[in-house]
Amino acid sequence: MDLAYNEEYVEFRAEVQAFLKANKSSAPKGRMGWGQADDKSRTWQQLLIKHGYAARTIPKEYGGFGAEPDILKNHIIAEEFAIAGVRPGHSGDPRLVPVVLELGTEEQKHALVGPTIRGDMVWCQGYSEPGSGSDLASLSTKAVLEGDEWVINGQKIWTSGAQHADMIFCLVRTEPDAPKHQGISYLIFKMDTPGIEVRPLVTMTGEAIFNETFFTDVRVPKDQIIGRRGEGWFVANATLKHERGSLGDPNQLEGRFRSLVEMLKSEKIDGKPLIEFPIYRDRLLKLQARVLSMKCNGMRILTANTKNEEPGLARWIVKLLGCELNHQMAALAIDVMGELGVLYEDSPYLRNYGMWQRNYMLDLGLIIGGGTAQIQKNMIGERALGLPKEPKYDAI
């Protein structure tokens, strides 16, 4: 157990800090970069790639910085950017780029990776369908090969960013007679292909952060496929893993917890700070123990990753527990605000721009999305604890 960093890393951290100090003012405001396409973001991203703070391990030949993988350095970069409150860079769409690098053809790597990490090519994901949520592999959007083209018909849902995206990576059924996991292919195509219609999908928060995307006789060149025909399910699983890892991030938990403490210190009932109410304080403390546990659990995963060890249970639980914990923090925030906790939109007297009310709903969406809590528990039970799957059954 040694929580200090050795000299190489201490130096690296200093270098990052110096970079941030010098360049902070050039950084665009707001949330992380991919999916957005303004010039300031692109310039910033290019600067970061140049210094190795974005696309760090992506080979130079495809437009990246080309460093050896070093999880601690990644961690230091993320930490320092978070502390400085500077928007971090990205490695292109984190769901797509690793897949292209691992399974794409040489031609695809050259054509796709560079523009994507520079922010010139923005992607959306076409996986879920209205009838295929937890049971994603039952998807029914079809692609039929006609000559040199796939002809795609069907509907996707939860396609966030589809209205701004240049490209989509999409799971489609190409082998309708094969067992469900073996009949899927992973296609990539332009969003301005004729026959694609994007309709905003309003959620309970009142915002349209997602879309429904409809395909009517969309024609896509035959070679715009990653991996082989019928192997799309296995191609996609690599990307699902990447998405899952990002939910329940302990840095985010800690940041939210700090905001929550601030609120309990500054808000008052009848002139008395909320943190002096034992019942609210006790709930805060229970959450603190969980946040600290998840922070420590995160360090354990990080260490396992640096050693190429499998973190096991420590990793499996992150999504389930992290999302629930975020939701509970939002719930406490709303509770302590009392009547103020129901204000919304552009109402006066909003605290933190209404983020708690919004998060309370959004976090519930995240508990459901990317594998519901029930699916997570199945996975923990079966994959981490080795409990048997449900027996085979007759369809009902």
Partner 1 sequence: MEFALSEEQRLLQDSICRYLESECNLDRVREAAENNVTQQAEVWQGLSELGIQGIIIPEEQAGVGLGFLDAALVAEALGRSVAPVPFIGSSIMAPVALMAAGSDDQKEAWLPKIAAGDVVFGVGVTEQIAQRETTGIKSDGGKLTGKAMFVIDGVDANMLIIADDDGALYLVDVNAAGVTRQNLKTIDKTRAVAEIVLEGAAAEVLPGSQNDREPLLKTIDAGRLMLAADTLGAADIMLEKAVAYAKERKQFDRVIGSFQAVKHMCAEMATELEPCRSLIWYAAHAVYDIPDEARLLTCHSKAHLSEVGRFVAKTSTEVHGGMGFTDLLGLHYWFKRIGLDRQLLGAPELIREQAAAVQGW
Q: Which residues are catalytic?
A: 243
Q: Identify residues 363-392 at the interface with a copy of itself (CB under 8 A).
A: 388, 390-392
User: Rule CB under 8 A: is residue 203 a binding residue for partner 1?
Assistant: yes
4-12, 21-29, 58-66, 119-127 -> range binding partner 1 (CB under 8 A): 4-12
Q: Judged by CB under 8 A, does residue 310 bind partner 1? A: no
Which of 1, 3, 279, 289: binder of a copy of itself (CB under 8 A)? 279
CA distance 46 to 54: 8
| Residue (of 210, 213, 192, 214) closest to 202 by Cα position | 210
Footprint of partner 1 on 8-27 (CB under 8 A) = 9
Tell me: does residue 330 bind partner 1 (CB under 8 A).
Answer: no
Local structure of residue 147 (DSSP, 8 states): T
Q: Does 128 help bind partner 1 (rule: CB under 8 A)?
A: yes
Neighbours of 81 (CB within 10 A): 20
Listing DSSP states for 11-22 in one string gives HHHHHHHHHHHH
In the region spanning residues 260 to 289, those forming contacts with partner 1, defined by CB under 8 A, are 265, 267-271, 275, 277-282, 284-286, 288-289
Cα–Cα distances (Å) from 355 to 78, 256, 263, 341, in that order, read 23, 10, 12, 10
Determine, following the binding rule CB under 8 A, whether residue 243 of this chain makes contact with partner 1.
no
Region near a copy of itself per CB under 8 A, out of 149-157, 191-199, 256-264, 276-284: 276-284
Q: For partner 1, which residue of 139, 294, 330, 333 counts as binding (CB under 8 A)?
A: 294
Please name the residues in contact with 338: beta carbons below 8 A apart, sequence gap of 6 or more: 269
Residue of 300, 305, 352, 355 interacting with partner 1 (CB under 8 A): 300
C-alpha–C-alpha distance, residues 4 and 274, integer Å: 36
Q: To 10 degrees, what angle do helices 278-306 and 71-84 make?
A: 150
- 282 touches a copy of itself (CB under 8 A): yes
Least Cβ distance, residue 324 to partner 1 (angstroms): 9
